[in-house]
């Protein structure tokens, strides 16, 4: 529904602007010169203004988190809509790229039209200095003297080229493969958005396109008192303004033009100010370094960090942005909280998979000698790199507790959002609406299950002791049979019988859950590869036609 509204507004804005420049009296003479290129260039510019303003809103993480936490203001449907903020940001970015191509193409056509349709009658409308001037020159230069010794650079032309270059860098660096392998490139190119918006507002100040200011005194196509034919910069084919008697109107004044009023700043100023204010708030909030308590290395190149921060009160399912100046002063990496502070435990924790340059350098700083575990003494804290935490920020995983029945599906390190859920239930599951949790974890190697095996077993035993064995339903899937093993240790016995070799049969799993929870709403949460996410989303839509309603919630995996 939200996508339909966004597409509808963009389409309406494009069509409204297109018709304004196509039939608006104030653009009559300019339209005679440029034709369809004028309408398309201005219509695409309107859609660009809209999306350049909207693309910033999903990045106001603190604002979205506050809205998520206000249950009186935002219901479950609103919170589910907020969870799609990243997808909406990507959609706006794609729209910006598409309409930028349309906008640039239309202006290339306009450059040719300015050259071929040079107006002798209305010289103020011309961008070209003479008929037949090279259109490529018009893109870069607005005024060239006869000797070609002096030129005034075109503000729209130069800024337009810079905007296209920045947009190309940001778009190409946003691919999934590049973000995973070299996140630093994505991070630095995306921060070019600051320069992008500065140039964007300068881009609209050129005044290349002119609008007629005295339409009442000089109706389009009118004739002067000393003329027998109406003014016509091109030909007599265009429809002209006529009087009530059918004869051409007489001009009271000559046509006067001025540069088009820039509108971009009207669109982007409010979102840009909101984003800058939020960034300032986050900078001040994250200015104090956290205290490192423990660092543990787990199998599969995974680090577990336990930290302390005064006044830090996150909710289960939220994530933080971690900054380590010793690795990079400007990079902030998102990590889901795997443990939240409680009354009995003041620390919070995250799990980091060592993948990429930043995490590799960070791992070597924390455990330079590759120790398996290290407790950091408080008196020697300064020997270790300073860490800054920004957040917490809301995510879809917070909704796990708002359903009576929830299904959590994790792929590999994607288990981290649900680890915090398990921690919270272990502390006190009675205070939440949740009464049944299906926990599905898919891993390639058996060693990965050891990350949270003890945590799962602890919750399992606690629920058995409290006579609620049906609360937690654990399904572990091992997809690789290489060096096939089992969870043979005695303390992992509750998990060994729930370990299956192979991949889940999703349709059968949904049928089983549907039969066991008839006439109920089941929340499905996924943090894993896109293939699993797409399949679960499809099954949620198909099975929701039965007596059990499945609602899909996707956690960002990368």
pLDDT of residue 226: 61
pLDDT at 116 exceeding the cut of 50: yes
Domain boundaries for CATH 3.40.50.80 within the chain: 396-554
In 3D, which of 127, 63, 87 has the Cα closest to residue 281? 63
369-417 residue pLDDT tens: 644 444 444 444 446 789 999 989 988 888 899 899 999 999 888 888 8
Upper half-sphere CA count for residue 361 (Cβ side, 13 Å): 13
Mean pLDDT on 302-320: 90
| Percentage of the residues of the chain whose pLDDT score is greater than 70 | 85
In 3D, which of 27, 97, 115, 13 has the Cα closest to residue 55? 97
Mean pLDDT on 452-462: 86
- Taking the alpha carbons at both ends of the chain, their separation in whole angstroms is 25
pLDDT at 6 exceeding the cut of 90: yes
172-207 residue pLDDT tens: 998 888 877 777 888 889 999 999 999 999 887 767
Question: How much of the chain is helix, strand and coil, in % rounded to 5?
Answer: 50, 15, 35
pLDDT at 502 exceeding the cut of 80: yes
Residue 489's pLDDT band (cuts 50, 70, 90): low
CA separation for the pair 180, 558 (Å, rounded): 7
CA separation for the pair 302, 419 (Å, rounded): 14
Q: Give the mean pLDDT of the chain.
A: 83
Strand residues in 151-309 grouped as ranges (E): 151-153, 210-212, 257-259, 291-298, 302-308
In 3D, which of 356, 467, 367, 456 has the Cα closest to residue 410? 456
| Percentage of the residues of the chain whose pLDDT score is greater than 90 | 30
461 CB contacts (<8 Å, ≥6 apart)?
494
pLDDT of residue 234: 43
CA separation for the pair 334, 89 (Å, rounded): 17
Give the count of beta carbons closer than 10 Å to the beta carbon of residue 306: 19
CA separation for the pair 68, 270 (Å, rounded): 21
Residue 29's alpha-carbon distances to 60, 247, 416, in angstroms, are 43, 19, 62
CA separation for the pair 10, 95 (Å, rounded): 10
Query: What is 396-554's CATH number?
Result: 3.40.50.80
| 488 or 534, which is more confident | 534
CA separation for the pair 22, 40 (Å, rounded): 9
CA separation for the pair 288, 471 (Å, rounded): 40
Query: What is 291-393's CATH number?
Result: 2.40.30.10
Q: Range with the lowest mean pLDDT among 21-25, 216-220, 239-243?
A: 239-243
132-148 residue pLDDT tens: 777 777 776 644 443 34
Does the pTM surpass 0.85? The reply is no
DSSP codes of every residue in 482-533: TT-----SGGGHHHHTTEEES---HHHHHHHHHHHTTT-EEEEEEES-HHHH
75-104 residue pLDDT tens: 667 777 787 888 899 999 999 999 999 999
Residue 44's alpha-carbon distances to 49, 87, 517, in angstroms, are 9, 22, 50
Residue 281's pLDDT band (cuts 50, 70, 90): very high
By the 10 Å C-beta count (0-12 exposed, 13-18 middle, 19+ buried), 368 is classed as exposed
Mean pLDDT on 1-30: 91
CA separation for the pair 419, 425 (Å, rounded): 10
Residue 492 φ/ψ, nearest 5 degrees = -105, 15
Residue 530's alpha-carbon distances to 86, 395, 410, 535, 556, in angstroms, are 15, 17, 12, 9, 10
Strand partners, 350: 305, 337
pLDDT of residue 387: 93
């Amino acid at each position: 529904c939200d996508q339909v509204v966004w597409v509808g507004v963009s389409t309406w804005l494009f069509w409204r602007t297109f018709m304004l420049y196509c039939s608006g009296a104030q653009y009559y003479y300019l339209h005679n010169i440029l034709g369809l290129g004028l309408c398309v260039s201005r219509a695409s510019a309107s859609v660009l203004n809209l999306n350049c303003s909207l693309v910033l809103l999903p990045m106001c993480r603190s604002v979205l988190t506050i809205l998520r936490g206000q249950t009186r203001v935002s219901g479950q449907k609103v919170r589910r809509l907020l969870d799609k903020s990243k997808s909406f940001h990507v959609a706006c970015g794609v729209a910006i790229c598409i309409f930028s191509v349309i906008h640039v193409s239309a202006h290339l056509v306009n450059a040719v039209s300015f050259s071929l349709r040079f107006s002798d009658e209305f010289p103020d409308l011309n961008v070209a200095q003479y008929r037949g001037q090279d259109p490529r020159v018009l893109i870069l230069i607005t005024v060239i003297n006869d000797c070609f010794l002096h030129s005034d650079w075109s503000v729209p032309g130069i800024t337009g080229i810079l905007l296209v270059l920045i947009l190309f860098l940001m778009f190409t660096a946003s691919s999934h493969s590049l973000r995973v392998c070299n996140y630093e490139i994505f991070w630095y190119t995306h921060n070019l958005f600051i320069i992008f918006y500065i140039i964007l507002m300068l881009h609209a100040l050129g005044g290349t396109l002119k609008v007629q200011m005295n339409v009442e005194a000089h109706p389009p196509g009118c004739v002067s008192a000393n003329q027998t034919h109406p003014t016509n910069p091109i030909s007599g084919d265009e429809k002209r303004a006529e009087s009530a008697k059918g004869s051409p109107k007489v001009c009271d004044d000559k046509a006067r033009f001025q540069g088009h009023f820039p509108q971009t700043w009207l669109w982007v100023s409010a979102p840009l100010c909101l984003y800058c204010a939020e960034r300032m708030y986050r900078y001040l909030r994250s200015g104090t370094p956290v205290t490192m308590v423990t660092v543990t290395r787990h199998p599969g190149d995974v680090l577990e960090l336990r930290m302390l921060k005064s006044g830090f009160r996150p909710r289960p399912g939220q994530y933080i942005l971690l900054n380590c100046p010793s690795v990079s002063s400007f990079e902030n990496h998102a990590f889901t909280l795997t443990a939240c502070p409680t009354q009995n435990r003041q620390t919070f924790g995250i799990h980091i998979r060592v993948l990429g340059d930043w995490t590799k350098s960070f791992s070597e700083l924390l455990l330079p000698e590759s120790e398996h575990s290290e407790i950091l003494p408080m008196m020697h804290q300064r020997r270790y790199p300073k860490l800054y935490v920004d957040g917490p920020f809301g995510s879809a995983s917070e909704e796990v507790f708002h359903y009576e029945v929830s299904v959590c599906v994790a792929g590999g390190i994607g288990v981290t959002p649900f680890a915090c859920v398990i921690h919270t239930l272990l502390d006190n599951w009675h205070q939440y609406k949740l009464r049944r949790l299906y926990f599905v974890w898919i891993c390639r190697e058996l060693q990965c299950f050891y990350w949270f095996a003890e945590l799962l077993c602890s919750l399992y035993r606690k629920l058995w002791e409290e006579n609620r064995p049906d609360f937690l339903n654990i399904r572990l899937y091992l997809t690789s049979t290489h060096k096939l093993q089992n969870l043979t240790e005695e303390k992992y016995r509750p998990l060994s019988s729930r370990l299956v070799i192979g991949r889940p049969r999703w349709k059968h799993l949904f049928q089983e859950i549907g039969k066991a929870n008839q006439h109920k709403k089941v929340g499905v949460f996924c943090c894993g590869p896109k293939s699993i996410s797409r399949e679960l989303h499809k099954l949620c839509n198909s099975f929701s036609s039965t007596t059990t309603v499945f609602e899909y919630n996707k956690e960002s995996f990368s």
